[in-house]
Chains A and B, each alone.
Chain A
Amino acid sequence: MLKLLKYALYDILKSRFALIYTVFLALVAISIYQVSDDLSKVSLSLMNIMIMIVPLISAVFATTHFYNNLEFIELMLAQPVKRSQVFLSQLFAVIIMLSLSILIGFGLPMMLWGADSSLITLLAVGIILSAVFTGFAFLASVMTRDKAKAIGISLGLWIYFSLVYDGFVLYFIYSFADYPLEKATLALVMLNPVDLGRILMLMQLDISALMGYTGAFFQKFFSSSMGLLIAGGTLMVWMLFPNFFALRVFRKRDF
């Protein structure tokens, strides 16, 4: 497993994409640092990138990578190694590459110009979202035999979680505006990794004071150890669940 990962990682880290993505993130971070002087504003701007761009790129890149490597995966499968190892080495290589890009692209400017705990959370959220959307992408890839279709599904999932879902949430809140909605909205947040990452970030910033009663409720929940445990557990499930299903399909799939 580690041997396979080593080579897969070597290949992916030397790819042009890894370099472009890292430089892109670094440029974004640098320009944000240049424009705003206030650290909490930096956090907010970086957060916007993190919750929109990072899942999108993760989803598209992971799908493309899977299909570009399909023949190589087939060759691996003809070797005396376990299917799960072939799959996991590819998966981890992608996740590690995306995470390293975030760590370097965002982390270096942070080291240069200062960071606080909210930015550390930001990095963690970025890495988690990368893993979640890589999982979605791999799941889409193993379920279909057509690259375009798989990219379509990945993009669809991205649009769903970053846009459509929130539309439903707004509609839901609007429909039940007369009821106490704090617990329900909390549950809704848990059901979307992008929302969960965003709320976790917002709770780190003193901006949460602007969020009124709902914000105070969230603040209380996410600052309790139980709340953090549940949030962490939920994110863990979001990371494991698509990857686990992708692995299951991969093991039964014909190549």
Chain B
Amino acid sequence: MITVNSIFKKFGKLEVLKDFTLSFERGNSYAIMGPNGSGKTTLIKSILGMVLPDKGEILVKGLSIKGSNDYRKFIGYMPQIGRYPQNMKIGQLFSMMKDMRPEIKTYDLDLVEAYELDKIKDKSLGTLSGGTVQKVSAALAFLFNPEILILDEPTAGLDPIAVEILKSKIKNEREAGKLILVTSHILSDLEELTNHAIYIFEGEVFFNDSIESLKEITSEEKFSPAIAKLMQWSLKKKSTTKALTYA
């Protein structure tokens, strides 16, 4: 559904993505992990067209996204920190988003209802608490029933009830056969929500397989220690590369 085909991206001298290749398939839910600065965000932003790769191509539903914006109607994006125009009201934000996708007439209002956003639709976005803003972001990401969902730290800032609502919504969508990409620092959330782990290290894919095989390879029974092992390995690999370079 999404194919990332050997993309390169440099920010100044820093090479963030190096010959990066990945593909994401429908019906799967991917946990995208990696230390800070590994290239997770750059990957997501590249798929969304916010970062333009220096080389390589990204295909969404078989079509290159270069110079195109139409493909984004298949994507629901929930940013890590949603910030909206201070003086706009919640209701207006929703109608603006709907205006941008005039061809979509049926809306998925599950989260809007669950979070009772209708009741506060006349509140200005500038007056909302961080948690409420996250609820708005989540509701917007699911609003158009998109085939692809990209969720950046979806549970951060939400209260436990809201987290549970969101998690069950994500699971529902996965079962409905959608493609879901999630980044999170909360490993338990990832274990719960995803079936496929991608570990990015220094701009390269270090691990890419199902969570079962991750546990198998690391011979751990639980997700968290498995990831921890993965991290150790990746660091070790780094030092060996260095040693090689020095030799």
* Complex: A in contact with B (CB within 8 Å): yes
> Helix, strand, loop or mixed for chain A's interface?
helix
Contact A69 to B85, CB < 8 A, known contacts A3-B99, A74-B79, A75-B79? yes
Number of A residues with CB within 8 Å of any CB on chain B: 26
Assess whether A198 is interfacial by the CB under 8 Å rule.
no
CB contact under 8 A between A11 and B100, given known A71-B79, A78-B77, A80-B71: no
> CA–CA, A78 to B81, complex, Å?
14
Q: Which residue of B lies closest to A82 (CB)?
A: B69
* Bound: A79/B79 CA distance, A: 12
- Which residues of B, 72-93, contact A by the 8 Å Cβ criterion? 72-73, 75, 77, 79, 81-88, 92
Q: Are B45 and A254 in contact (CB-based, < 8 A)? A: yes
As a 0/1 sequence over residues 198 to 227 of chain A, the CB contacts with chain B under 8 angstroms (1 = contact) are 000000000000000000000000000000
Q: Chain A residues near B69 (CB, 8 Å)?
A: 80-83
Contacts of B92 in A (CB 8 A): 7, 10
A residues in contact (CB < 8 Å) with B:
3-4, 7-8, 10-12, 14-15, 68-72, 74-75, 77-83, 252, 254-255
Q: What CA separation (Å) do A236 and B119 show in the bound complex?
A: 48
A27 nearest CB across to chain B (Å): 23
A75 to B73, CA, bound (A): 13
Contacts of A255 in B (CB 8 A): 45, 50-51
| Total count of chain B residues near the partner, CB < 8 A | 29
CB distance from B44 to the nearest CB of A (A): 10
Asked whether A71 and B96 contact (CB < 8 A) given A252-B52, A254-B50, A254-B52, the answer is no
A-side contacts of B87, CB under 8 Å? 10-12, 14-15
Check: B49 CB closer than 8 A to any chain A CB. Answer: yes
Question: What are 23 residue pairs bridging A and B, where the CB atoms are less than 8 Å apart in the complex?
Answer: A10-B88, A11-B87, A12-B85, A12-B87, A15-B87, A68-B86, A71-B84, A72-B83, A72-B84, A75-B83, A77-B48, A77-B49, A78-B49, A78-B75, A79-B72, A80-B72, A82-B69, A252-B52, A254-B11, A254-B50, A254-B51, A254-B52, A255-B50
- Find the residue from A71, A72, A82 having the highest chain B CB count within 10 A: A72
Residues of chain A lying within 8 A (CB to CB) of residue B79: 71, 74-75, 78
Closest to A83 in B: B69
Cα–Cα, bound, A12→B101 (Å): 23
What is the chain B residue whose CB lies nearest that of A7?
Answer: B96
Q: A4, A10, A78, A82 — which one has the most chain B CB atoms within 10 A of its CB?
A: A78
Interface residues of chain B, those whose CB is within 8 Å of chain A, are: 11, 45, 48-52, 69-73, 75, 77, 79, 81-88, 92, 96-97, 99-101
Q: Which of A72, A80, A252 contacts B85 (CB 8 A)?
A: A72
B82, A75: Cβ atoms closer than 8 Å:
yes
Question: How far apart are the CA atoms of A3 and B92 in the complex, in Å?
Answer: 12
Q: Closest residue to B137 on the A side, CB-wise?
A: A75
Query: Which A residues touch B99, using CB under 8 A?
Result: 3, 7
Q: What 4 pairs between A and B have smallest CB-CB spacing?
A: A71-B83, A11-B85, A14-B87, A80-B73
With most chain A CB atoms within 10 A of its CB, the pick from B45, B70, B85, B99 is B85
Chain A's closest residue to B73 (CB) is A80
Closest chain A residue, CB of each to CB of B74: A80
- Give the distance to chain A from B172, nearest Cβ to Cβ, in Å: 22
Q: With the chains together, A81 CA to B88 CA distance in Å?
A: 20
Q: Which residue of A lies closest to B9 (CB)?
A: A254
CA distance A74 to B85 in the complex (A): 12
What chain B residues lie within 8 Å of A12 (beta carbons)? 85, 87
A80, B101: Cβ atoms under 8 Å? yes
Given contacts A72-B83, A78-B50, A254-B45, contact A7 B88 (CB under 8 A): yes
